[in-house]
């Protein structure tokens, strides 16, 4: 670059390299996140004629949103979604932290423990659903079998709305805590041993 100092040329080249390295991730983000969301929003501003589903969609503006906001089912679904978030996100974090601390212990063979952490996250959602359906099944489910062994009547986990909510939350926490544990484990392994030793010298307990 004419008239630029070597330092400026270096900064420019590093900036160009950074842009080139970020472009694939930015393009991928546009394709798999921005474009679908923009398409979904555009489609939500249109409506299909039920008598002619093959015809052109009609532009209705925010009429679909107005109808949704006036529907009790929309608000009920929104409340249920918020409840799922309140229960499953802290639950997955706490369970994941416990698993990460366990996997961070000085085992002689670490790979079976870490493989066990990875399996729930890698398991397809369909398989996870089938597993927990079997767990909470009324007659032959594992959970009701445990309850019966301690003298508690079997519960209809998948038929009662409240019990079904908690059954779904348990399944989500189980699956999400695996990925959470892997991320927390990666962070725990970056903490140098000297910090633990300094904490012990200062009188810090294990907690």
Query: In a 10 Å sphere around its CB, with 0-12 CB exposed, 13-18 middle and 19+ buried, how is residue 50 labelled?
Result: exposed
The least confident of 72-76, 102-106, 141-145, 176-180 is 102-106
Residue-level pLDDT at 18: 84
Stronger pLDDT, 93 or 151, i.e. the higher one = 93
Write the CB contacts of 47 (distance below 8 Å, at least 6 apart in sequence): 57, 58, 60, 63, 64
- Distance (Å, rounded) from C-alpha 108 to C-alpha 139? 42
Q: Residue 14 pLDDT more than 90?
A: no
Domain boundaries, the chain: 1-70, 71-207
Radius of gyration of the chain (CA): 26
Residue-level pLDDT at 90: 94
Residue-level pLDDT at 101: 87
Residue-level pLDDT at 60: 84
Enter the tokens of residue 56: 């052109």
Residue-level pLDDT at 51: 67
Residue-level pLDDT at 23: 93
Residue-level pLDDT at 92: 93
**What is the fold of 71-207?**
MetI-like fold (1.10.3720)
Q: State the average pLDDT over residues 181-201.
A: 87
Residue-level pLDDT at 2: 55
Task: Report pLDDT digits (tens) over 121-175.
Answer: 888 888 888 888 888 888 888 888 888 888 888 888 888 888 899 999 999 999 9
Task: Report pLDDT digits (tens) over 115-128.
Answer: 777 888 888 888 88
Residue-level pLDDT at 26: 93
pLDDT confidence bin for 8, thresholds 50/70/90? low
Q: How far is CA 45 from CA 22, 39, 42, 125, 164, in A?
A: 33, 10, 5, 31, 34
Task: Report pLDDT digits (tens) over 30-89.
Answer: 999 999 999 999 988 888 776 666 666 778 888 889 998 999 999 999 999 999 999 999
């Amino acid at each position: 670059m004419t008239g630029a100092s070597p330092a400026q040329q270096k900064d420019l080249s590093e900036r160009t390299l950074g842009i080139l390295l970020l472009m694939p991730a930015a393009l991928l983000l546009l394709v798999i996140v921005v474009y679908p969301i923009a398409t979904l929003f555009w489609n939500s501003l249109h409506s299909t004629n039920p008598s002619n589903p093959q015809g052109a969609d009609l532009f209705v503006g925010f009429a679909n949103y107005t109808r949704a906001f006036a529907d009790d089912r929309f608000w009920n679904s929104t409340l249920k979604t918020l409840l799922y978030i309140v229960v499953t996100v802290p639950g997955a974090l706490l369970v994941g932290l416990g698993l990460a601390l366990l996997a961070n212990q000085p085992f002689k063979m670490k790979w079976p423990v870490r493989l066990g952490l990875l399996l729930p996250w890698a398991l397809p959602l369909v398989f996870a659903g089938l597993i927990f359906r079997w767990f909470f099944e009324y007659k032959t489910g594992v959970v009701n079998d445990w309850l019966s062994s301690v003298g508690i009547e079997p519960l209809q986990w998948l038929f009662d709305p409240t019990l079904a909510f908690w059954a779904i939350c348990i399944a989500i926490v189980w699956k999400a805590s695996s990925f959470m544990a892997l991320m927390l484990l990666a962070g725990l392994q970056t903490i140098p041993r000297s910090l633990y030793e300094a904490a012990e010298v200062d009188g810090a307990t294990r907690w």
